[in-house]
Structure formats: structure tokens, C-alpha cells
Amino acid sequence: MELKRVVVTGLGAVTPLGANVGETWENAIKGVSGAGPITLFDASKFKTRFACEVKNFDYSKFLDRKEARKFDRYAQFALAAAIEGMENSGLDLEKEDLDKIGVIFSAGIGGIRTFEEEVGSYYTNIEAGPRFNPFFIPKMIADIAAGHISMKYGLRGPNLSAVSACASSTHALGIAFDLIRLGKATAIVAGGAEAAVCVAGVGGFNSMHALSTRNDDPQGASRPFSKSRDGFVIGEGAAALILEEMDHAIARGATIYGEIAGSGMSADAYHITASHPEGLGAMLVMKNALADAGMQPEDIDYVNVHGTSTPIGDISEVKAIQSVFGDHAYNMNISSTKSMTGHLLGAAGAIETLFSLLSIRDGIVPPTINFHEGDEDPDIDYKLNFTFNKAQKREVKAALSNTFGFGGHNASIIVKKFEK
């Protein structure tokens, strides 16, 4: 069976850097940090009192107040990104077979804010007995964003959510890619959303000592590969990519941002939260992605790394890159856009793949901001081009994006310049 080629024809995003793709990308190239004091709840007693929040989000542009009550904040983000992506794609659904258009949209946690609010309300009013909102369960579950998007457009093709912590939306893209190239769908709205900037989210990650506590400098707190890094900055938002079978996209005259070349999956099989210290799972997932794409390490120009700004994680990923790419690692650009967006958890892979596509389109690599001084660990070789502090212009023909999740879940995806 000959596999079909898969291209990206639409992009949508709502992030701490902007309300849409244009604003987000412009600020990423400028090296803007989306971090600031938490406004979504009173964080005054928390170890970490800042985050990368989505600013001035207005759901009323696409949902009336009554309907919005059925949506957790994460699902509102998902729908906003999907709407922009669909509009950007130019798909005329009146001319399409909606049985062949699907939605694979993920979250690592899902409606944690809804869970927190409903259970908290129960314990606050425990003497009155259990009184839960009838929308509690459908608002909370991690698959509901995919359901809402399909209902918005009447899309009856494959519909599901991959849940693999911070690797979730990269897995969603990989699954969508496979379904289209196998001929099981013509187009798929793929991506991820997350909204865990809440008491449970921040409190839970604080208890693990996973978050930066640099409260005096929120915008400088996410500093991947810098000696003074002390944890990640939690973020929120969503990104949607419209994946489409190549011949179908060409036939309707679609704008093509790039081609999905291959994807990879692996497991660390090591620890519930820590990455393997030698980066074994990270090595395997990148090798798997390259093999799936039929590409050599030398074909990759840019790696958008997982790069969360944690002491152990950054080192293990660099070890893996040097192992997989060898001498070519010194010819590539490497950057962690989490230094600007914060860590969007289950939505991270989607926004970082979107950045990779725009790097190909515009010939520029977004920076890793907040670098101050090198780590003394010999496993981080600063002769590698980490694109520190300032975007760099270069031709990017192919880019690889990594995401790694708690539980040892690893996912990589490769995008490349489209050539008919």
C-alpha cells in the first residue's frame, strides 16, 4: 500500500504570547516572555506566584454565555484555536465529505479547573449534601475538546484525544498523520489545549518542586540550559493544525505551510516523572521519527527541544541530541520556545510544531531567552547553537520537535518544506 503524503494547510493558536497565530509568532521572534504574576486565583501563599497566562481571553467571540457554561477554560482555548485554524485553512465544508474529516485533539490534564471548583464547592457546602453541576463530568474530561470541535463543524471522521501528559498533542499530531496517510481521513483538526493555572495545578507542581520559584523575576524565570535554571514556568493555551492529504489540498488550491515527514514514539521505562538520565528514551524517539520520515540526521536544520528549564531534563535531552545527531548537532539550531510561552503541558507539542512550521516558512529560528551563564555539567556543550536570547535567520528545510511527558512518554514529529 502506498502511503499518502500529509501537509499542513491551517494554523490556529491562543497562547500567553498572543490571541492568535500572528501575535504569538511575532512575539516569539522578538523574544518576548509571556510570564507574569498569577491573576486567575490568589497565589499569595504559594511557593510560585507567577505563570504564563493567556491574557484578556474573550470566549464571547465564539460562544454565548449559556453555551460557555458547558466548557472548561481548556476547551474554550481549544475551540478558539480550532476556529482560527479552520478559517485559515480555507476548507469549504459544504463541498467536503464530513465523514472523512476528523478531530484528534489532546490535553494532558483537561478540565482540572472544573474539577477543583466542583469538588471544592461540595466540601464548602458539605452540610447541604452533594450538589454537582450537571455539566461537571463533560466539562472535566480530557477528550471533550475534540468532541466540541467536531460538533462545531459537523465533522464525523476519526475523533479522539491522546492523553500522555506533556507529549499529548505531539501524539495527537502523529496519530492524525498516520490516519491520513493510511487513507482513513482526508483532513484532521489536530492539536492540544491546557488550562492548569489554578490552585490544584500550581499547588501540585509546587509540591513536586517542579516549578521555578523566581517570584522576583517572572519573565526571566524560564531559562533552559542556563546554570541558574530552577524549574519550569507553567503556561496555558492551545494550538490547532489542519492536517490534510496532499492531493486533496493541491486540488482545492490550499496554502501549504509544510509537510509532515514522520513521527516517532517511545518510552523511557524509567521513572514516573524524571527523564532517563542518559536520555535513552529521547534518543529512541528521535531515531524513530527519522526512520519513519526516511531521513538522515543531516537532513534536520532545527530542533525545537522539550527544554523545560529543569536541572535534569535539559541535560538528558542534550545528551540524546548529541548521540543521535553526532557532529551534525553543531550545524543545527536548537531552541526552547518554552522560555517564552512557559510549559503548556498537553498543548506544548502542538504550539512547538506550529513554531517549527513557521520557522520553515519564514527562514528564522525563535530564540531560547533568559540565558545567563553556562552549566558546569560537561554534558551540556555550549558549542551547540542553542539560539540564545535572539532569533537567528537561516534556511530551515526540516525541523524536529520533541515533547516528553510524565510516565516516560516521548513523542517527536518532523516537519519539512513542502515540495510537490
Whether 314 contacts 224, CB under 8 Å: yes
Which one of the listed residues 166, 248, 276, 409 is annotated catalytic? 166
E-strand spans in 342-393? 364-365, 392-393
Query: In sequence order, what DSSP letters do the residues of 173-242 get, joined into one string?
Result: HHHHHHHHHTTS-SEEEEEEEE---SHHHHHHHHHTT-B---TT-GGG---TTBTT---B-BB-EEEEEE
343 is catalytic: yes
How many CB atoms within 10 Å of residue 56? 6
Residue with cell 556543550: 381
Long-range pairs, 176-182, Cβ under 8 A, ≥24: 176/102, 176/104, 176/243, 177/6, 177/243, 177/260, 177/263, 177/413, 178/263, 179/102, 179/104, 180/4, 180/6, 180/243, 180/244, 180/245, 181/3, 181/4, 181/5, 181/6, 181/245, 182/1, 182/3, 182/4
- DSSP class of residue 141 equals S
Catalytic residue among 171, 248, 343, 409: 343
Q: Is 306 annotated in the active site?
A: yes
Distance of CA 17 to the CA centre of its chain: 14
Report whether 321 contacts 329 (CB < 8 A).
yes
Q: Give me the amino acid identity at 391.
A: A
Residue 120 DSSP code: H
Helix crossing, 21-30 with 348-362: angle to 10°?
A: 70
Residues assigned a catalytic role: 166, 306, 343
